[in-house]
């Protein structure tokens, strides 16, 4: 009888041995943390094998001992600002910081660059600026502004992962906010072709009613200028529209826990809404921000400790899906000590994993939780689940190797992002990123990053 797979009497072809095997007593898989070997061939995971599986002769083998091997993080909220504002950041510097911090996939926001990513032609400009300069895989969000609704389907077809919009002023004139009528029109369009709308949700009327912090060095004055009600009212409008149109929407950088019951109720009723929060909202509190310390300024703002506790509860119960950086850097001169005049944005791309791990373990969460919030869920948001965000067969061989008990003190000058300004300066964090692997290639080791080997990825690419 002929043998399956070949002519009569022929032996079945030998399976190709893996290119790489990583071993650890703490491999973070979708099924939990386990002692395992991870076999990699051609940049993808072949198998997750028992810990005592011997590597085949000639296979590259790395034994990480007790260090934790997590899936490479997926950060879907990064402002790279390139081209146009590359003095603030750039593709080379941002992705070096990402790789050093265990992030293997970055999705770039459509604003703060010039031009913004609001047309297919502008997307091509972005891709040309990024090509051959990225240390991680990089994808792109499109932008939704009042005058580009007719461009959204073409951007979707060109591979953007979805569309960012603002409901209040963005801070840059080339990316205006959507009015209520604009929002309804844009959401109807994205719903028509199955797109995702991601939203900076602060209500402009509530912001206009609040006292302005102009000229103030006091963080309390800035916090009062961005009240909880601004987030709540904007999210309420968003979920009402999404329910009526059957649209898929995502709430960006949720800072106010007041909106959590609203989000939970909307999801329970079938509204297709997800939400993210950020490391700074989970690890920093309003009570600790010194006067004049505008490195802590972001919109929406860092709120008080009780609010932070409620955000952690929202993560634990699944109301908040993912944790992403909202890395939004600027030059140091824009962080003047006036909370009204300073640029709002926190630089944190390299520090998200240790910052979140430090706080998560103190609250009783484990490495599997962190991997779900910072890898699996952001990958799913962008439609990259099945390729990114998990240590499982068929996925890209992207890994973040973490020494979870090792501590370090944040030195801004040692970070890879372009400008040495961060709200985490001087903090001692647990969790040193010992290595980062991208599609089976070692791209960073204890802060030292190799040459750029990342790819540009899109919604339509494998």
192: number of Cβ within 10 Å? 13
Read off the DSSP letter of residue 275: E
pLDDT at 414: 94
pTM exceeds cut of 0.85: yes
Q: 77: which residues sit within 8 A by CB, 6+ positions away?
A: 107, 109, 252, 253, 276, 278, 324, 325, 326, 327
Please tell me whether residue 350 adopts helix, strand or coil conformation. Answer: coil
Closest alpha carbon to 119 in 139, 145, 89:
145
Dihedral sign computed on CA atoms, order 57, 58, 59, 63: positive
Contact 317, 405 (CB under 8 A): no
Closest alpha carbon to 85 in 338, 299, 343:
343
d(C-alpha 151, C-alpha 160), whole Å: 12
pLDDT at 460: 73
Neighbouring C-alpha atoms within 13 Å toward the C-beta of 264: 14
Helices (H), ranges, 47-90: none
Q: Is the peptide bond before 143 cis (omega within 30 degrees of 0)?
A: no
DSSP string across 351-366 = THHHHHHHHHHHTT--
d(C-alpha 242, C-alpha 249), whole Å: 7
Contact 237, 181 (CB under 8 A): no
d(C-alpha 272, C-alpha 267), whole Å: 7
399: number of Cβ within 10 Å? 28
CA separation, residue 255 to residues 21, 68, 213, 349, 366 (Å): 40, 29, 19, 18, 23
d(C-alpha 261, C-alpha 287), whole Å: 25
Helices 260-268 and 305-316 meet at what angle, rounded to 10?
A: 20
Query: Torsion angle, CA of 183/166/306/213, rounded to 10 degrees?
Result: -130
d(C-alpha 309, C-alpha 251), whole Å: 19
Contact 222, 297 (CB under 8 A): yes
d(C-alpha 348, C-alpha 351), whole Å: 5
Closest alpha carbon to 158 in 195, 199, 111:
195
Length of the chain (residues): 462
237: number of Cβ within 10 Å? 17
Of all residues in the chain, what percent are helix, strand and coil, respectively (each to 5)? 30, 25, 45
Please tell me whether residue 83 adopts helix, strand or coil conformation. Answer: coil
Contact 229, 202 (CB under 8 A): no
Q: Tokens for 216, please give them.
A: 């103030």
d(C-alpha 357, C-alpha 25), whole Å: 18
pLDDT in tens, the chain (462 residues): 222 333 333 344 446 889 999 999 999 999 999 999 999 999 999 999 999 999 999 999 999 999 999 999 999 999 999 999 999 999 999 999 999 999 999 999 999 999 999 999 999 999 999 999 999 999 999 999 999 999 999 999 999 999 999 999 999 999 999 999 999 999 999 999 999 999 999 999 999 999 999 999 999 999 999 999 999 999 999 999 999 999 999 999 999 999 999 999 999 999 999 999 999 999 999 999 999 999 999 999 999 999 999 999 999 999 999 999 999 999 999 999 999 999 999 999 999 999 999 999 999 999 999 999 999 999 999 999 999 999 999 999 999 999 999 999 999 999 999 999 999 999 999 999 999 999 999 999 999 999 999 999 999 755
d(C-alpha 61, C-alpha 57), whole Å: 10
DSSP string across 395-412 = SB--EEEEEEEEEEE--G
pLDDT at 461: 57
């Amino acid at each position: 009888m002929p043998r399956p797979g070949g002519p009569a009497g022929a032996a079945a072809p030998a399976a190709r041995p893996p290119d790489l095997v990583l071993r650890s007593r703490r491999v973070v898989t979708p099924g939990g943390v386990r002692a395992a070997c991870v076999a990699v061939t051609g940049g993808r995971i072949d198998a997750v094998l028992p810990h005592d599986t011997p590597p085949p002769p000639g296979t590259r083998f790395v034994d990480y001992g007790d260090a934790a091997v997590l899936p490479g993080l997926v950060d879907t909220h990064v402002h790279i600002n390139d081209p146009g504002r590359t003095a603030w950041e750039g593709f080379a510097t941002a992705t070096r910081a990402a790789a050093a911090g265990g992030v293997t996939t970055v999705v770039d926001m459509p604003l703060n660059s010039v031009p913004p990513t609001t047309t297919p032609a502008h997307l091509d400009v972005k891709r040309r600026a990024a090509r051959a300069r990225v240390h991680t895989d990089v994808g792109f969000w499109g932008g939704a502004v009042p005058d580009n609704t007719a461009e959204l389907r073409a951007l979707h077809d060109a591979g953007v992962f979805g569309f960012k919009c603002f409901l209040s002023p963005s801070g840059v004139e080339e990316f205006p906010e959507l009015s209520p009528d604009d929002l309804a029109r844009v959401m109807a369009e994205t719903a028509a072709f199955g797109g995702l709308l991601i939203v900076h949700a602060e209500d402009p009327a509530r912001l206009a009613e609040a006292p302005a912090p102009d000229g103030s060095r006091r963080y309390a004055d800035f916090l009062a200028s961005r009240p909880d009600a601004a987030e709540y009212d904007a999210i309420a409008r968003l979920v009402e529209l999404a329910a009526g149109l059957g649209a898929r929407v995502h709430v960006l950088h949720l800072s106010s826990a007041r909106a959590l019951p609203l989000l939970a109720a909307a999801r329970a009723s079938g509204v297709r809404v997800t939400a993210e929060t950020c490391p700074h909202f989970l690890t920093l509190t309003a009570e600790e921000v010194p006067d004049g310390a505008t490195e802590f300024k972001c919109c929406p703002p860092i709120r008080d400790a009780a609010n932070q506790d409620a955000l952690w509860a929202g993560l634990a119960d699944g109301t908040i899906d993912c944790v992403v950086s909202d890395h939004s850097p600027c030059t140091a001169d824009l962080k003047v000590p006036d909370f009204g005049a300073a640029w709002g944005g926190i630089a944190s791309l390299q520090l998200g994993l240790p910052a979140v791990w430090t706080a998560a373990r103190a609250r009783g969460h484990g490495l599997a939780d962190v991997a779900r919030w910072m890898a699996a869920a952001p990958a799913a948001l962008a439609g990259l689940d099945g390729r990114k965000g998990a240590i499982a067969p068929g996925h890209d061989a992207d890994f973040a190797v973490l020494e979870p008990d090792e501590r370090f003190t944040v030195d801004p000058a040692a970070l890879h992002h372009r400008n040495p300004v961060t709200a985490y300066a001087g903090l001692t964090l647990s969790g040193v990123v010992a290595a980062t692997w991208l599609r089976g290639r070692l791209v960073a080791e204890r802060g030292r990053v190799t040459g750029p080997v990342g790819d540009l990825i899109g919604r339509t690419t494998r």
